[in-house]
């Protein structure tokens, strides 16, 4: 079975350049805490939008810690990173601006309903 | 009920108490210590020998500190106290309170000094709506500290209370058993600190950041702020008062987002709106550009960092959209409110581009224009790709979050503000007229920036073609032929929402009005249906929903008028701009120089004074910015290349006016003017233009 977290980081690595991170320079480490203890660590280095990914530990300008199961929902668009930070579900330390920046490349949530342009709703 | 509330603040940390310094909040009573949209103290009551105290006087020393002079006992006609009490409180990471008790008797006195403390950890939204909490509370006494805590899942907040003098601590407060010698005093320093108990080794960032922030000398900071502002010399004393008031209030309204490295942007209002708002922060930054430019730069950077990147119906977020409001409390954290951030705002995105261009015109800061090229292009793309909800090329809005989103996503955001002349309300989506003006202005200004800084003349050409086309269609589709003004909006079927409103003035400001229509629009704005003598009403007398004390349907908003005055200048109506400025500045006299958010639309001849519309928030940022923008419009300040052009048209009543050391790409320059526009006639409502 494919690991969605692996896929997520692999996709970022494959894309190489992220326009939404075009101004960003720095390293971000994700510490994804496993239910049986220990953490799955991913290190992302960003240089003006050029992104490299390593499945490894290492020092970072910003570390983002969350339960692995929560992170799976986050990269599915089922959770919002900034609300999670306020809640304490994600714990961030270091350069906060990097968290604000990197959450921009997380996907959006499923749509509440289809809303189209047009002239419905008039009364 | 509230009597004589005292408020002090620093950023989004503030204390609201009664005039004795006591806090006795109930679920819906908005007193307490607040920070990051959470109440960290809801009870803080001082007694001496089991008696409450009586206030003799209260000093708001500065916006961040207050002093309370008290005597023990209440309810007596005569104050015959042998002791007096001074509480001096200043805001920091929470607050610090110096409590001093002076014994005026010839004998020593034994006193039981008690402070009751408790906290409900309410979210600001809960304070407004009196909602129930879902988490659990606990209280601990340890190491000479009283710790009040709240936890809901991983969400944890705490308040830590300690004193410099030893006290007996219990679950409900602190007690000091003291003896004060004759003619001596006793003092203790009380520290109330907000904190987030670590969910692990590392603390969640927001409050950790707050507590690690160096406590800068706020008095020194305020003085530096005032020293750096241009100096105003004026024969008319009320203007000097308004100017000084605005500068101090603007200092208090500065808010430093966690990502801004200590730099500040203008929050929307004090104290309940001490947070980032797209619309309010941008409008205020625009108003104050001739006086300080750092607020605009921070606004642009911070809103850019939080620009929408995905489609999120709960937050009404789209790629490129500029946020409406950011909040940090429990309800936002648990997604019971969408403010993390919320994007339901249809004007801020175009206004973002307008601010970027105006900022460059004042500062010459091309680096920032280049740094924010991506954000500006994304904003322009939002206008075309995501705001075209009616499919006719106009910017429109309709919330996708139908439970907690905003219905009206323009500045007139109350439920009945967008109405036909006969009073009916249109369906959604709604395309209000000023949104088209802002979109036009954004395209025109972005075209300039594309040539100047982005090296993309093809993009510039395209934007100008689009803007010209938008202007042509707008002047056809929104023009109400039989009334001779621009409709408030187009409804979902493309029909005109045909009430006459102040939005016509914003259209002048944006430049979307064809020259041939400008004079008649000006005539409407200064005609008796819209102009009250104090200012231009949000909605004209005679419209179905007109109400002189209706929030957006008849009141006069100073901020609205300041942008209308700018619009009048843009089309060359200098004297009319002076008339609007005179009305608003004369109104400010009735509020000690601090303009309210709005005042009643009653004719000036009828009430003699402006009737304040009751609002909880004062000062309001864009009301604070209003006298500053009016100074700009009266002096006719306009950056042209590397020079500042001055073309004054001042009300006669102002006399001589000097604004010295105006900062900008020219360094610092001075501007002078002498009142020559006779605005006295226009204080009586009448038809026609108020030309000399």
Mean pLDDT of A62-85: 94
**Cβ(B288)–Cβ(B298) below 8 Å:** no
| Residue closest to B559 by CA, chosen among B605, B514, B509 | B509
CA separation for the pair B60, B46 (Å, rounded): 19
CB contact under 8 A, A96 and B374: no
CB contact under 8 A, B205 and A85: yes
Please report how many Cα atoms fall inside a 13 Å half-sphere around the Cα of residue A87, on the Cβ side: 22
Which residues does residue B539 pair with via DSSP β-bridges, in sequence order? B501
**Cβ(B440)–Cβ(B512) below 8 Å:** yes
Whether B426 contacts chain A with CB within 8 A:
yes
Q: Using a CB-CB distance cutoff of 8 angstroms, which residues of chain A are in contact with residue B323? A: none
CA separation for the pair B287, B270 (Å, rounded): 18
Whether A86 contacts chain B with CB within 8 A:
yes
Beta sheet of A91-94, edge-to-edge order: A50-54, A39-47, A25-33, A62-67, A91-94
Q: Using a CB-CB distance cutoff of 8 angstroms, which residues of chain B are in contact with residue A77? A: 310
Radius of gyration for chain B, computed over Cα atoms and rounded to the nearest angstrom: 27
Interface test with B, best of A116, A119, A120, A123 (most B CBs within 10 A): A119
pLDDT at B131: 67
Chain B, nearest residue to A19 by Cα: B374
Interface test with B, best of A31, A87, A104 (most B CBs within 10 A): A87
CA separation for the pair B441, B353 (Å, rounded): 9
CB contact under 8 A, A113 and B313: yes
Rounded-to-10 torsion of CA B164, B166, B171, B175: -100
CB contact under 8 A, A109 and B427: no
- How far off is chain B from A54, nearest CA to CA, in Å? 23
pLDDT at B617: 75
| Residue closest to A117 by CA, chosen among B3, B273, B394, B578 | B394
Which two tokens mark B663? 């900062």
Chain B, nearest residue to A89 by Cα: B154
DSSP letter assigned to residue B308? -
Q: Using a CB-CB distance cutoff of 8 angstroms, which residues of chain B are in contact with residue A89? A: 153-154
Q: Following DSSP, what letter does each residue of B616-657 receive, concatenated? A: S--SBHHHHTHHHHHHHHHHT-EEETTEEE----EEGGG-EE
CB contact under 8 A, B427 and A121: yes
pLDDT at B535: 97
pLDDT at A123: 32
CA separation for the pair B507, B520 (Å, rounded): 13
Q: Using a CB-CB distance cutoff of 8 angstroms, which residues of chain A are in contact with residue B203? A: 91, 93
Helix (H), strand (E), coil (C) string for B493-542:
CCCEECCCECHHHHHHHHCCCCHHHHHHHHHHHCCCCCECCCCEECECCC
Q: Using a CB-CB distance cutoff of 8 angstroms, which residues of chain B are in contact with residue A99? A: 205
Rounded to 10 deg, the angle between the B433-452 and B373-385 helix axes is 140
CB pairs below 8 Å between A and B: how many?
A: 117
Q: What is the ipTM of this complex?
A: 0.91
Chain A, nearest residue to B302 by Cα: A97
Chain A, nearest residue to B258 by Cα: A96
Chain B, nearest residue to A78 by Cα: B312
Q: Using a CB-CB distance cutoff of 8 angstroms, which residues of chain A are in contact with residue B389? A: 117-118
Chain B 43-82, residues with CB within 8 Å of chain A CB atoms = none
| Residue closest to B266 by CA, chosen among B290, B291, B298, B243 | B298
CB contact under 8 A, B391 and A119: yes
Whether B398 contacts chain A with CB within 8 A:
yes
Whether A14 contacts chain B with CB within 8 A:
no
Look at the block and give the residue holding tokens 């680096």: B367
Higher pLDDT, B45 or A118: B45
**Cβ(B429)–Cβ(B563) below 8 Å:** no
Farthest-apart Cα atoms in chain A, separation? 60
In three-state secondary structure terms, B219 is helix
CA torsion through residues B354, B356, B362, B366, sign: negative
pLDDT at B117: 98
CA torsion through residues B65, B71, B77, B78, sign: negative
Q: What pLDDT digit, counting tens, does each position of B483-529 carry?
A: 999 999 999 999 999 999 999 999 999 999 999 999 999 999 999 99
DSSP letter assigned to residue B183? T
**Cβ(B548)–Cβ(B529) below 8 Å:** no
**Cβ(B524)–Cβ(B484) below 8 Å:** yes
CA separation for the pair B499, B78 (Å, rounded): 59
| Residue closest to B551 by CA, chosen among B413, B428, B399 | B413
CB contact under 8 A, A93 and B202: yes
pLDDT at B79: 61
CB contact under 8 A, B400 and A112: yes
Q: What pLDDT digit, counting tens, does each position of B189-208 carry?
A: 999 999 876 443 344 444 44
Element (H, E) at B112: strand B109-118
- How far off is chain B from A44, nearest CA to CA, in Å? 19
Chain B, nearest residue to A104 by Cα: B309
**Cβ(B575)–Cβ(B583) below 8 Å:** no
CB contact under 8 A, B333 and A86: yes
CB contact under 8 A, A91 and B493: no
CA separation for the pair B243, B251 (Å, rounded): 12
Which residues does residue A17 pair with via DSSP β-bridges, in sequence order? A50
Residues 6+ apart with CB under 8 A from B229: B247, B291, B292
Lowest mean pLDDT of A68-77, A88-97, B25-34, B680-689, name the range.
Answer: B680-689
Based on the number of CB atoms within 10 Å of its own CB, is B637 exposed (0-12), middle (13-18) or buried (19 or more)? Answer: buried
Look at the block and give the residue holding tokens 């100017």: B243
**Cβ(A107)–Cβ(B310) below 8 Å:** yes
Strand-strand pairing, B650-651 and B667-677: parallel
Q: List average pLDDT for each run of 10 residues in chain B, which is 692 residues long.
A: 71 91 84 93 97 90 91 72 94 93 96 97 80 89 95 93 97 97 97 72 43 60 94 96 96 90 90 92 98 98 97 97 96 96 98 98 98 98 97 97 96 97 98 98 98 98 98 98 97 97 98 98 98 97 96 97 98 98 96 94 91 82 98 98 97 96 98 93 48 34
CB contact under 8 A, B374 and A99: no
- Answer yes or no: is pLDDT of A116 > 80: no
**Cβ(B375)–Cβ(B301) below 8 Å:** no
CB neighbours (10 Å) of residue B488? 31
CB contact under 8 A, B205 and A122: no
Whether B196 contacts chain A with CB within 8 A:
yes
Please report how many Cα atoms fall inside a 13 Å half-sphere around the Cα of residue B57, on the Cβ side: 3
Whether A87 contacts chain B with CB within 8 A:
yes
Which two tokens mark B687? 């038809």
CB contact under 8 A, A86 and B328: yes
Which two tokens mark B412? 């007139």
Which two tokens mark B386? 């995501």
Helix (H), strand (E), coil (C) string for chain A:
CCCHHHHHHHHHHHHCECHHHCCCEEEEEEEEECCCCCEEEEEEEEECCEEEEECCCCCCCEEEEEEHHHHHHHHCCCCCHHHHHHHCCCEEEECHHHHHHHHHHCCCCCCCCCCCCCCCCCC
């Amino acid at each position: 079975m494919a690991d969605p977290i692996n896929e997520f980081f692999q996709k970022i690595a494959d894309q190489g350049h992220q326009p939404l991170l075009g101004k960003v320079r720095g390293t971000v480490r994700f510490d994804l805490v496993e239910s049986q203890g220990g953490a799955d660590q991913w290190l992302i280095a960003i240089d003006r939008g050029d992104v490299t990914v390593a499945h490894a530990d290492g020092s970072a300008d910003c570390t983002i810690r969350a339960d692995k199961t929560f992170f799976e929902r986050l990269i599915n668009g089922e959770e919002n990173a900034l609300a999670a930070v306020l809640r304490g579900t994600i714990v961030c330390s270091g350069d906060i601006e990097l968290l604000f920046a990197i959450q921009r490349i997380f996907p959006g949530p499923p749509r509440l309903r289809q809303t189209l342009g047009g002239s419905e709703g008039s009364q | 009920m509230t009597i004589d509330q005292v408020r002090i603040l620093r950023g989004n940390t503030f204390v609201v108490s009664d005039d004795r310094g006591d806090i006795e909040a109930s679920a819906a009573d908005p007193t307490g210590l607040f920070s990051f949209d959470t109440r960290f103290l809801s009870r803080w009551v001082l007694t001496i020998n089991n008696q409450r105290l009586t206030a003799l006087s209260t000093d708001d020393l500065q916006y961040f500190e207050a002093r309370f002079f008290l005597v023990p006992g209440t309810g007596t006609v005569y104050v015959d106290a042998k002791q007096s009490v001074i509480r001096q409180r200043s805001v920091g990471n929470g607050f610090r309170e110096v409590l001093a008790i002076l014994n005026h008797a010839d004998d020593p006195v034994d006193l039981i000094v008690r402070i009751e403390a408790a906290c409900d950890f309410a979210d600001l939204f809960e304070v407004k709506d009196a909602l129930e909490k879902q988490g659990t509370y606990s209280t601990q006494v340890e190491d000479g500290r009283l710790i009040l805590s709240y936890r809901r899942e991983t969400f944890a907040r705490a308040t830590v209370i300690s004193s410099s003098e030893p006290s007996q601590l219990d679950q409900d407060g602190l007690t000091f058993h003291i003896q004060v010698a004759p003619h001596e005093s006793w003092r203790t320093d009380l520290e109330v600190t907000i904190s987030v108990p670590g969910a692990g080794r590392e603390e969640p960032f927001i409050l950790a950041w707050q507590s690690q922030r160096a406590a800068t000398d706020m008095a020194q900071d305020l003085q530096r702020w005032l020293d750096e502002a241009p100096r105003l010399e004026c024969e008319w004393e009320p203007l000097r008062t308004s100017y000084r008031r605005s500068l101090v209030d603007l200092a208090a309204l500065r808010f430093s987002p966690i990502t801004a490295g200590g730099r500040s942007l203008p929050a929307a209002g004090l104290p309940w709106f001490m947070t980032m708002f797209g619309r309010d922060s941008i409008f205020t930054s625009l108003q104050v550009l001739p006086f300080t430019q750092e607020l605009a730069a921070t606004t642009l950077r911070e809103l850019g960092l939080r620009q929408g990147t995905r489609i999120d119906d709960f937050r009404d977020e789209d790629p490129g959209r500029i946020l409406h409001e950011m909040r940090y409390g429990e309800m936002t954290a648990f997604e019971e409110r969408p403010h993390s951030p919320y994007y339901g705002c249809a004007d801020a995105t175009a206004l973002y581009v307008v601010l970027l261009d105006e900022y460059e015109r004042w500062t010459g800061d091309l680096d920032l224009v280049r740094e924010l090229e991506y954000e500006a292009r994304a904003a322009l793309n939002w206008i075309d790709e995501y705001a075209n909800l009616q499919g006719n090329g106009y910017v429109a809005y309709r919330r996708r979050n139908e439970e907690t989103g905003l219905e009206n996503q323009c500045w007139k955001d109350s439920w009945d503000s967008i109405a036909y002349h006969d009073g009916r309300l249109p369906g959604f989506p709604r395309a209000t007229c000023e949104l088209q003006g802002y979109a036009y202005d954004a395209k025109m200004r972005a075209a300039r920036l594309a040539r100047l800084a982005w090296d993309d003349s093809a993009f510039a050409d395209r934007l100008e073609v689009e803007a010209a086309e938008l202007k042509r269609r707008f002047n056809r589709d929104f023009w109400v032929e039989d009334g001779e003004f621009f409709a408030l909006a187009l409804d979902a079927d493309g029909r005109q929402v045909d009430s006459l409103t102040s939005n016509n003035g914003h259209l002048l400001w944006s430049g979307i009005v064809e020259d041939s229509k400008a004079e008649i629009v000006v005539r409407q704005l200064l005609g008796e249906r819209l102009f009250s003598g104090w200012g231009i009403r949000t909605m004209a007398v005679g419209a179905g929903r007109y109400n002189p004390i209706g929030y957006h349907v008849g009141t006069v908003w100073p901020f609205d008028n300041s942008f209308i005055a700018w619009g009048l200048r843009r089309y060359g109506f200098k004297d009319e701009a002076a008339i609007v400025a005179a009305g608003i500045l004369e109104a400010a006299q009735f509020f000690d120089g601090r303009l309210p958010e709005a005042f009643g639309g009653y004719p000036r001849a009828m009430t003699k004074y402006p009737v304040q519309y009751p609002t909880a928030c004062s000062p309001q940022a864009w009301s604070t910015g209003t006298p500053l923008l009016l100074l700009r419009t009266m002096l006719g300040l306009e950056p042209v290349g590397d020079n500042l052009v001055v073309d004054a048209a001042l009300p006669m009543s102002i006399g001589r006016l000097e604004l010295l050391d105006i900062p900008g790409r020219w360094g610092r320059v001075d501007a002078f003017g002498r009142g020559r526009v006779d605005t006295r006639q226009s204080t009586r409502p009448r038809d026609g233009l108020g030309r000399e």
